[in-house]
Structures are given as structure tokens and as C-alpha cells.
């Protein structure tokens, strides 16, 4: 794929009326993680998250087209009385990578979370996604060991 050099990107939070800006990127994100391409499913998922106010989505545009996005989900703690954020999805079109767009999206997320009164943003990535891991660590994310106060358990249902 040909690399595109951009001089200016804009990042904004989208609402339901702008969901189509990220549907194609979300579909590409799912393909990156080994899922089959399905724009209808991608559109329905994004629309449902925005319609039900279940996530916050930021889109990066360059040259008047979407080139990256991130999707956040709230994470509440009753014991800690906090609302923090899970940076669940981050994707930059392959032609626009290595230009700071992913970093700009992450910093936008961090600023948003801070303005919301959150004390942290967390994320997960594939164990073999070394490019993403390098970016996260360069920004200041710290790989977590076991929590000193709480243990995470999970069961498939």
C-alpha cells in the first residue's frame, strides 16, 4: 500500500450522525484482528454503541477523509468511586501510519479522560502487536502486573 504523507490532521469526537466516518475503519480494524469483513455488522455495532451512549469515539481526518479512530468504553469502580476509560479500539489506516496519528488519538483520549475526572486510561493489545506496544510504552503506558488491591477473573459464557 502506498504511504500517504499528511501535513495536518484533525481529531474530533463523533456522534451518531457521523458514525459513517468510522465504519470502514472499524471494519479494517476487525480484519486486522482476524475477523471477516462485514460492513453491515460494523455499521450496526458502531451505531448501537453511539445510539445507546455506550462508547465515545474520536476520528482523525486528513485530506478531508477519515484515517484513524479510537473507541472508548467507561469503566466504573464503586469502591474507588471513579469512572475511568478503556481504550478498546485504536486503528490508523495503513497508508497513514508512522505519522503520529495514533499518538495524537491516544493523547486526545487522555485529555478527554482527564477532563472527565478520570484517574486512568487502560488498554489491551495483542501479545504479538509489538508496534502498538512500543507506541503505548513510548507515550507512558505501563504494562500491568497483578493489581495489589483487586484480582481480575474471567469466565467464558
Q: What is the pLDDT of residues 21-49, one digit of tens each?
A: 999 999 999 999 999 999 999 999 999 99
Provide the b/e sequence for 65-98 (b: ≥16 CB within 10 Å): ebbbbbbbeeeeeeeeeeebbbbebbbbbeebbe
Model confidence at 4, pLDDT cuts 50, 70, 90, reads: low
Confidence of residue 110 (pLDDT cuts 50, 70, 90): very high
pLDDT tens for 47-56 read 999 999 999 9
Given a cut of 80, is residue 88 above it in pLDDT?
yes
At 108 the three-state DSSP class reads helix
- The β-bridge relationship of strands 121-123 and 82-92 is parallel
Which region, left, alpha or beta, applies to residue 98 given φ > 0 means left and ψ of -120 to 50 means alpha? left
Can you tell me the distance from the alpha carbon of 35 to that of 47, in angstroms, rounded to the nearest whole number?
19
Q: Is the pLDDT of residue 151 over 70?
A: no
Instruction: Report the C-alpha gap between 123 and 116 in whole angstroms.
Output: 17
Amino acid at each position: 500500500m502506498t504511504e500517504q504523507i499528511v501535513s495536518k490532521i484533525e481529531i474530533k469526537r463523533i456522534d451518531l450522525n457521523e458514525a459513517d466516518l468510522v465504519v470502514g475503519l472499524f471494519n479494517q480494524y476487525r480484519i486486522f484482528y482476524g475477523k471477516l469483513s462485514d460492513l453491515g455488522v460494523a455499521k450496526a455495532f458502531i451505531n448501537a454503541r453511539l445510539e445507546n451512549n455506550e462508547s465515545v469515539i474520536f476520528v482523525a481526518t486528513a485530506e478531508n477523509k477519515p484515517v484513524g479512530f479510537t473507541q472508548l468504553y467507561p469503566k466504573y469502580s464503586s469502591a474507588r468511586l471513579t469512572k475511568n476509560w478503556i481504550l478498546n479500539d485504536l486503528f490508523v489506516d495503513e497508508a497513514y501510519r508512522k505519522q503520529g496519528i495514533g499518538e495524537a488519538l491516544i493523547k486526545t483520549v487522555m485529555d478527554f479522560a482527564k477532563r472527565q475526572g478520570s484517574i486512568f486510561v487502560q488498554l489491551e493489545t495483542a501479545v504479538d502487536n509489538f508496534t502498538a506496544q512500543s507506541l503505548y510504552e513510548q507515550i507512558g503506558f505501563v504494562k500491568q502486573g497483578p493489581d495489589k488491591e483487586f484480582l481480575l477473573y474471567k469466565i467464558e459464557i
